[in-house]
Structure 1
Amino acid sequence: MADRGTPHAPEPAVGDSAQLRNVVLVGAAGAGKTTLTESLALAAGAVNRAGNVPDGSTVSDYEEIEHRQQRSVQLSVVPVNWRGLRINLLDTPGYADFTGESGAGLRAAEAAVLVVSAADPIGLPTLALWRECRAAGLPTAIALTHLNAAHVRLDETLAACRDAFGDGHPDTVLPLHLPVLQGGRPAGSLELLTGRRYGEPGDLEPALTEAARGQLVEAIAGEDDTLLERYVAGEELDPASLTEALRREFLQGTLHPVLVTAPPPDPAGPAPGAAELLDLIAEAFPTPLERADGLPPGDPEAPAAVQVVHTGEDPYVGRLSLVRIFTGTLRPDTVLHLAGHPDERVTALSIPFGKQQHPVPLGLPGDLVCLARLAAARTGDALYADPAAEPFLEPWPQPEALLPTAVEAHSKADEDRLAQSLGKLSAQDPALRVEQNADTHQLVLWCTGEAHQAVVLDRLASRFGVHVDTVPYQVALRETFSTTASGHGRHVKQSGGHGQFAICDLTVEPLPGGGFEFVDKVVGGAVPRNFVPSVEKGVRAQLAHGVRAGYPLVDVRVTLTDGKAHSVDSSDAAFQTAGSLALREAAANGSIRLLEPVDEVQVLLPDEYQGAVLTDLSARRGHVLGTEPGGPGLSLVRAEVPELELTRYPVELRSLSHGTGHFTRTYVRHALMPASLAAQYSHAS
């Protein structure tokens, strides 16, 4: 057991990749990932009881916004030393808005620990994370938390885990330890394979212990012909053989050991389950050379290939890029190539430890190291020392940012720095999409949800000193003619010298879905040939500004039917003005309707929520196109919905589906807005 006195940083370097373990902790919000991470760091002597490193800061959730919001919002790396190894613990957010950070953790790790609260039912978000771990090919263990909560029964929790994560084979999800109870509370544990005891002495049920051990040994032996033969013959299997078989099955994904954790019974002592999990990581978890996701094993002699898994900002050195080294050895002065950008030269390497950075001389395959001042690389980008290398590191999927937030700079000083700050922020946060809307001229921050929105606005203010005001988000409406109408444009002025003279007559008719057409039907040269393009130019300028409510006018055919010109006073500018006036008069004589954008929406959600979502889509003026299976237990709903009804749909779908529904949206067309609704928008924009 490591010394729990003065907290200490991890060793500066490891001798080879076999001494590294990268482990991602995933789980639903509130499951206790950060608490477990701090317990592991405490057991390894990396932090003190308050979860602090030597400078007094926390080693995980150290950003101010995480303290204010009381939740993790970004990937944190906590390196600890254990039994001669460096274990990088990757603590991920559990909230749905930050699934991109979880994806980064899955990409950077070789194995996962799914953190499950025994005090809560196993919900769909937890099941979704389990599926992501399996899809990523990561061997996955299960850590149970909150076992000290009232009414929690270990046997019931284990049965729920077997049902949820057994994939039809419940004997693949089995406890590796049983808790030792002291006064009814977990105070330690017994490892079933070796009989090793952890923590304080306490009570165990011999019958339960023997049954659990027999079930575990039988499951392990059943996957190994040699062990099975010895087991059937009644031979007592030695702990070393069982541990070796456990590791083999864990790496193959045919066994998911369950560990129990709990708050420490003594505030000054260790948390039950922490040392047990660290031992399991050391003995059974894969090294970086044993990745199971198809990526090539790391060769320290090959040209370096790295991927940026997180981007942060340091007040002293600027941008800090946390990279995972997949192949090669990274050293200062290594030149890295990023497609489409100038080469980046590595200046120095460090490993993160809370807010601190500890310099290291090099990085081996599997290392997680920080590089300062990478100018162009964003989160998800891959960099290669060999510019001719065939790219093999693809970005992981990011949650689609579908919640719009329109903002304006609070002051002139904020406006001067806003664009640059948003550029830096979007480089750090690939889930953020920044749009300068060409139709509404609004600056729109597209976020994944309200929590993500709050983080983006907070970081703008706290990290970059830029303050913005949120304003109502505007949808790009259009105007169109619903009836045929005619207009007369007369622009005649005389003020000495050359005057201005242009007269034209236009007919405007609806052209649904046809955009804009201009037709010249003037006869007899009433409008000279050289001024016909001028009339069209004036009409097009008025189309852009709209004719009734200030929205662009679309889907019309404009026909020039007649006009008059003056041999001296007519000009290009005069006929442009006349064309604009004629179109405005036609609008006054005709009927103008508003068009609203319509999106095709595809909603993927569990079957049990399909009825509620269909009802909600109908209430949003949606037209359901159909439903179809979206996977086991899932439905895919397709509908066309006006964009006005989708402004807050990411938030409301999450509420309807208890955080399990996902949707995409694609613009289809503009369609007529109901007259009763259009009255609310028939004002100058």
Structure 2
Amino acid sequence: MIRNVVLVGHSGSGKTTLVETLLAATRTVQRAGRVEDGGTVSDFDEVEVRQQRSVNLTLAPLVHNGVKINLLDTPGYADFVGDLRAGLRAADAALFVVSASEGIDGLTRMLWEECAAVGMPRAVVITKLDHQRAEFDEVLAACQDAFGDGVAPLYLPVTEGGELKGLVGLLTQRFYGYGGGTRSESDPGPAQRDGIDAYRPSLIEGIIQESEDESLMDRYLSGEEIGTETLIGDLEKAVARGGFYPVLATGGGVGAFEVLELITQGFPSPLEHPLPEITTIDGKPVTDIACDPDGPLVAEVVKTTSDPYVGRISLVRVFSGTLRPDMTVHVSGHGLAERGHEDHDVDERIGTLSSPLGKLQRTTGKCVAGDIAAVAKLSRAETGDTLSDKEQPLLMTAWSMPDPLLPVAIQARSKADDDKLGQALQRLVAEDPTLRLENNPETRQLVLWCMGEAHADVLLDRLSRRHGVEVEKIGLRVPLRETFGGSCQALGRNVKQTGGHGQYAICHLEIEPLPSGGGFEFVDKIVGGVVPRQFIPSVEKGVRTQMQRGVLAGYPLVDVRVTLYDGKAHSVDSSDMAFQIAGALALKEAAAKVPTLLLEPVDEVTVLVPDDHVGSVMSDLSSRRGRVLGTEPVGTGRTLVRAEVPELEITRYAIDLRSMSHGTGTFRRVFLRYEPLPAHLADKVAS
């Protein structure tokens, strides 16, 4: 008696409006957009309200005909695909929301592929049919073209004088009117009958093709009228198996009942949805766990938020067992240490359980297998962590998260902000597994790796509004390297006689560049003890220290061989520190004798884009001093472009690629090697 449904679609498609309409239709709220106890349904996040866009995965529970429906509204921006994937993990079926006035964009197609990749049962809801520019037939054709076979309408909209009056059911062959705020049922008129005759045969054929009854197609083709109940039963099975995608029509409150009926009768329950892979803490597979309220506890944190008054709130999907307030659970996860998310293996006590709606938290006594609830005061658990019985700790395989590829360097605006920044950032990291926090030791910059510009703006806004920390963006520094452009001999002379204990160290070094990636070699060719054995490591230490400091622009020196072949020492004034300084001085002298080159990091970049954008992507990569290595087809209509591109040229590539490909392109980058920086750019850096 539970249905978990994720709403998927690009921003502006009408997802949140549809949620509000369904809440109003089930009297969960008094009217669309207004919760009974005050506050709007979409009032989930201060940033969302202020910017008028959804940036969070949000839960809206309601009840229809005794079935509890958990609606998971996902963001419609590519920057927040992490929340989309969290919604897919928590749900058992997806409602794909498409605007009748705006159609389908490239991002919508990508989101469909995300759902297809995890085998999610899907249906399509065409919204905004009350809009004056709405064209149902055109949008339906676009859906069939974009989403492939199996897409067919269950209902047709009926308009009069440009106003949406109701729907015609293609299976029931009935007209459902929505005049006066109530739903009525009647026989279809002649014009409506034409629509039934046009669309009903293909709908029935699509359903029958997915039927387990192999004789059904022969009976239909022989002219037998297939009963409505039989068709509805096969429709439910086809949708649950993910082989058929019914299309519904909504707008201005029309169609809410039909959407609710499809969710409760056509979508699978948690019992029918396979559980993600479960293992013990040490990685042994566990296969005997099912969606059973009396089974061992297995739950997952799918979203974490921080409330300035309530504290941390975790949205949890229970896959097995029953979660109750005040019980102690084991928290384990989650393998994202490289992003700043520590692995967890601790026990925590569950706080209050609630069923959230907007900003309201309605207390509940338990959360059974298949259901979703909010848990208060889990101080250690983060998004993606597993909650299980402390006596039988388990771990769910984490869902895949995209790599954040937009680096944003920040600094605190004041000393007071700096004192609070560390703790505030850790809270953001706990909430968002797509965020990576880097404290770069080379550039001495604090860098937030984000999914895109909108993601970065939301994070900085949350730092300010939720945590009272003001930061500002600063220019990102790319860690360069230095190397010598030729060989030479250099003298390091550190002689200071001051009447007391002085310093005396002289070393002669030969400097040679090594091939790229050669690292550092120190060669000892001292003979006759001109430099005492105990001071030879001191020379090497001084050279290494100066290499870290650089000799031109303050970047580490690499790919060099240093040979110590001569020197002098004093029986009293020579020391470890004296020879360290001499070694460093010799390296500086070498930099004055031979050219010093700046090296820049070069990444191997792979870009996946629709075929239509391959040309513009390749041209753009070339304009960034990149070397395009080749292309290869990936699936249908998509191409993978491989290239080598300097890091200096792709710091904002996540933004530029999204603009260039209309949100349909993705890329990966892996460090490859260092190469000489062109002279005109090196002069700017060195100056």
Alignment TM-score, normalising by the size of structure 1: 0.92
What code does the residue aligned with 2:178 have? Answer: G
Counterpart CA distance in 2 for 1:31 and 1:187 is 21
Counterpart of 2:366 in structure 1 is 362
Counterpart CA distance in 2 for 1:218 and 1:354 is 42
Counterpart of 1:163 in structure 2 is 145
Could you report, residue by residue, the CA deviation over 1:93-122 in whole angstroms, capped at 9, with x for unpaired residues? 111000111111111111111111222342
Structure 1 residues 161 and 312 mapped into 2: Cα distance closer, same or farther (>3 Å)? same
Counterpart CA distance in 2 for 1:591 and 1:254 is 66
Classify the secondary structure of the residue corresponding to 1:483: coil
Counterpart of 2:337 in structure 1 is none
Could you report, residue by residue, the CA deviation over 1:370-423 in whole angstroms, capped at 9, with x for unpaired residues? 1112222211122221554553x2222222111011111111111111111111
What code does the residue aligned with 1:541 have? Answer: T
Alpha-carbon contact 1:137-1:293 (below 8 Å) kept: no
Counterpart of 1:15 in structure 2 is none
Quote the offset at 1:539 in angstroms: 1.0
Quote the offset at 1:198 in angstroms: 4.1
Alpha-carbon contact 2:56-2:83 (below 8 Å) kept: yes
Answer yes or no: is 1:175 the counterpart of 2:153. yes
Structure 1 residues 505 and 473 mapped into 2: Cα distance closer, same or farther (>3 Å)? same
Quote the offset at 1:60 in angstroms: 2.6
Alignment of 1:144-543 (within 5 A): 144-166=126-148, 169=149, 172-194=150-172, 195=174, 197-200=176-179, 204-222=191-209, 223=211, 224-225=213-214, 227-228=216-217, 231=220, 234-262=223-251, 264=252, 271-292=253-274, 297-339=290-332, 340-385=344-389, 388=392, 391=395, 393-512=396-515, 513-543=517-547
When structure 1 is superposed on structure 2, of 486-495 and 553-562 the one drifting more is 486-495
Alpha-carbon contact 1:61-1:76 (below 8 Å) kept: no
What code does the residue aligned with 2:176 have? Answer: R
Classify the secondary structure of the residue corresponding to 1:137: coil
Alpha-carbon contact 2:21-2:256 (below 8 Å) kept: yes
Counterpart CA distance in 2 for 1:387 and 1:679 is 64
Quote the offset at 1:160 in angstroms: 2.2
Counterpart CA distance in 2 for 1:348 and 1:522 is 73
Counterpart of 2:571 in structure 1 is 567
Alignment of 1:544-623 (within 5 A): 544-623=548-627
Counterpart of 2:283 in structure 1 is none
Counterpart CA distance in 2 for 1:509 and 1:55 is 76
Alpha-carbon contact 1:178-1:191 (below 8 Å) kept: yes
What code does the residue aligned with 1:407 have? Answer: I
Q: Structure 1: any 5+ residue segments left out of the alignment?
A: 1-18, 265-270
Counterpart CA distance in 2 for 1:400 and 1:25 is 23
Quote the offset at 1:584 in angstroms: 0.7
Counterpart CA distance in 2 for 1:294 and 1:540 is 51
Answer yes or no: is 1:27 the counterpart of 2:16. no
Determine which structure has the larger strand proportion and give its number. Answer: 2
What code does the residue aligned with 1:52 have? Answer: R
Aligned pair partner of 2:93 in 111, 133, 152: 111
Counterpart CA distance in 1 for 2:222 and 2:504 is 110
Counterpart CA distance in 1 for 2:21 and 2:408 is 38
What code does the residue aligned with 2:196 have? Answer: T
Quote the offset at 1:43 in angstroms: 1.3
What code does the residue aligned with 1:674 have? Answer: P
Counterpart CA distance in 2 for 1:410 and 1:213 is 64
What code does the residue aligned with 1:300 have? Answer: P
Quote the offset at 1:585 in angstroms: 1.0
Would you say how many aligned residue pairs link Structure 1 and Structure 2? Answer: 653
Structure 1 residues 26 and 121 mapped into 2: Cα distance closer, same or farther (>3 Å)? same
Classify the secondary structure of the residue corresponding to 1:207: helix
What code does the residue aligned with 1:464 have? Answer: H
CA-based RMSD = 1.9
Classify the secondary structure of the residue corresponding to 1:337: strand
Quote the offset at 1:213 in angstroms: 3.0
Quote the offset at 1:442 in angstroms: 0.6
Classify the secondary structure of the residue corresponding to 1:316: coil
Structure 1 residues 632 and 293 mapped into 2: Cα distance closer, same or farther (>3 Å)? farther
Alignment TM-score, normalising by the size of structure 2: 0.91
What code does the residue aligned with 1:394 have? Answer: T
Counterpart CA distance in 2 for 1:136 and 1:354 is 28
Counterpart CA distance in 2 for 1:437 and 1:259 is 51
Counterpart CA distance in 2 for 1:518 and 1:78 is 66
Structure 1 residues 206 and 297 mapped into 2: Cα distance closer, same or farther (>3 Å)? same
Counterpart CA distance in 2 for 1:98 and 1:74 is 8
Counterpart CA distance in 2 for 1:492 and 1:418 is 47
Aligned pair partner of 1:679 in 660, 678, 683: 683
Quote the offset at 1:429 in angstroms: 0.6
Quote the offset at 1:131 in angstroms: 1.8
What code does the residue aligned with 1:256 have? Answer: Y
Could you report, residue by residue, the CA deviation over 1:432-488 in whole angstroms, capped at 9, with x for unpaired residues? 100001211110000010000001100111111111111100000111100112222
Counterpart of 2:58 in structure 1 is 76
Alpha-carbon contact 1:288-1:297 (below 8 Å) kept: no
Classify the secondary structure of the residue corresponding to 2:411: strand
Counterpart of 1:663 in structure 2 is 667
Structure 1 residues 505 and 55 mapped into 2: Cα distance closer, same or farther (>3 Å)? farther
Counterpart of 2:112 in structure 1 is 130
Counterpart CA distance in 2 for 1:406 and 1:303 is 45
Classify the secondary structure of the residue corresponding to 1:289: helix
Counterpart CA distance in 2 for 1:276 and 1:578 is 84
Counterpart of 1:628 in structure 2 is 632
Structure 1 residues 218 and 490 mapped into 2: Cα distance closer, same or farther (>3 Å)? closer
Quote the offset at 1:500 in angstroms: 1.3
Alpha-carbon contact 2:490-2:510 (below 8 Å) kept: yes
Classify the secondary structure of the residue corresponding to 1:338: strand
Q: Percent identity?
A: 54
Alpha-carbon contact 1:379-1:429 (below 8 Å) kept: yes
What code does the residue aligned with 1:418 have? Answer: L
Counterpart CA distance in 2 for 1:390 and 1:184 is 57
